[in-house]
Structure 1
Amino acid sequence: MRSLALILTAGLLVSACGEAPKPAANARVTLKLSLPDDGGMVRDERVVVRGTVSPADASVRVGGEDAEVDGGEFSKEVALAPGGNVIDISASSPGRRPATDAVRVTRDMRVDVPNVVGQEVDPAKTAVGNVGLKVEEEQRGGWLDRVIPGTDHVCATRPAAGTPVDKGTTVTLVTQRECPTGP
């Protein structure tokens, strides 16, 4: 009986050794991202994720939702939360191994200080308030400017126009009847 088991085992080993090699694992879907830049910063509420996939008929999911694929190119608009976001992308096709990737995008919630230099004070205050900033006025000029009727204008802002700041930041409007010119 032992010799029969040995012969059967040897026969199995020979046939196992003589088998054709197993085929390599199925090819992987190719996934390449073109937008947005990984680690990028945006101020918009949404971002478009775009790229290519091969084979061209592969299905793509971006952030857990199906993306439109046309001729191997895909795109999907994704909503961003304030701060850091990680957007997962996956692609699959029958008979192939799936591919995955991720892109990191930061939604910057700051706003730019509006350019109100040269404007009258009240419209300038409204413009600064409309972007979510607080307003403080620093009146300059001589004592006559305070007693003689006239209209003050914004000569400068602190922080300067175009500076990104957090909402709720106080912007100082430097006002005067006539703004000085030159150095």
Structure 2
Amino acid sequence: MKTGRVSAPISLVIALTLAGCSSDPEPAPPPPERVRLNVTAPSDNAIVRDASVRLTGRVTPSNAEVRVLGEDVSVEQGRFEATVPLDVGANVVDVLASQGRRRPAMAAIRITRQVPVKVPELQGVSADEARDRLAGLGLRPRIEEGGSILDDLLPIDAVVCTTSPEAGTEVEGGTEVEVVVSKIC
């Protein structure tokens, strides 16, 4: 086995390599700032009656791109607006803002569209027909048996005698309507 000195060029390479390892690396650039998004109208959990709603908001930076329900909307000086169609009942409207390498921002606004419904005239129809007609209007029927002991003896079918709320009353969709059926009204 041969021992000896390390030659100068090799020791110089090792010294420079170790010196390079001990130096501080350059700091990583900070991550890009997040896009800021603020939906100003309508408020979250808004209840409306119209078939559409005007959604407005602000975004920073002012040249960010904004999408509402997946569709591009124009942004002018950091402000945007869009007309959003609504289904009857619960709706969720998503808004996405992005710009270059910045982290995007997203908001989801819940809007309920309520449509008033008139309780139909049901007097004299069967319980099944009343149930179907009310459900078809988005109302919740609750069928109650009325009448007296004579109802058990009569060979005729029970029909609607009354409703609560009464026929013609305007109520919100999803309202429960009590339907009283009997063989003799």
TM-score by length of 2: 0.56
Q: Is 1:90 paired with 2:76?
A: no
SS in 1 for 2:21: helix
After superposition, what is the alpha-carbon deviation per residue over 1:10-67, rounded to whole angstroms, capped at 9, x for unaligned? 445323x2x2321210111111111111011222221222100111111100110011
1:111 alignment partner, one of 116, 138, 162: 116
CA contact (8 A) 1:45 1:107 kept: yes
Over the matched positions of the two proteins, sequence identity in percent amounts to 35
SS in 2 for 1:13: helix
Aligned to 2:166: 158
Q: Output aligned runs, 1:1-183, within 5 Å.
A: 10-15=18-23, 17=24, 19-108=25-114, 110-111=115-116, 113=118, 133-135=119-121, 158=166, 163-164=171-172
CA contact (8 A) 2:120 2:168 kept: no
Aligned alpha-carbon RMSD (Å): 3.4
Write the distance in 2 (CA, Å) between the matches of 1:162 and 1:51.
34
Structure 1 residue 134: deviation in Å?
A: 1.8
Write the distance in 1 (CA, Å) between the matches of 2:14 and 2:116.
81
SS in 1 for 2:22: helix
Write the distance in 2 (CA, Å) between the matches of 1:159 and 1:7.
96
- How many residues align? The count is 130
Write the distance in 2 (CA, Å) between the matches of 1:166 and 1:86.
19
Residues 8, 106 of structure 1: alpha-carbon distance in 2 compared, 3 angstrom cutoff: farther
Residues 43, 106 of structure 1: alpha-carbon distance in 2 compared, 3 angstrom cutoff: same
Residues 165, 83 of structure 1: alpha-carbon distance in 2 compared, 3 angstrom cutoff: closer
User: Larger radius of gyration, structure 1 or 2?
Assistant: 2
Write the distance in 1 (CA, Å) between the matches of 2:50 and 2:44.
16
CA contact (8 A) 1:59 1:69 kept: yes
TM-score by length of 1: 0.56
* Equivalent position amino acid for 2:95 in 1: I
CA contact (8 A) 1:111 1:166 kept: no
Runs of 4+ residues over 3 Å off in structure 1: 3-12, 157-167
For structure 1, the 5+ residue unaligned runs are 114-132, 138-156, 171-183
Aligned to 1:147: none
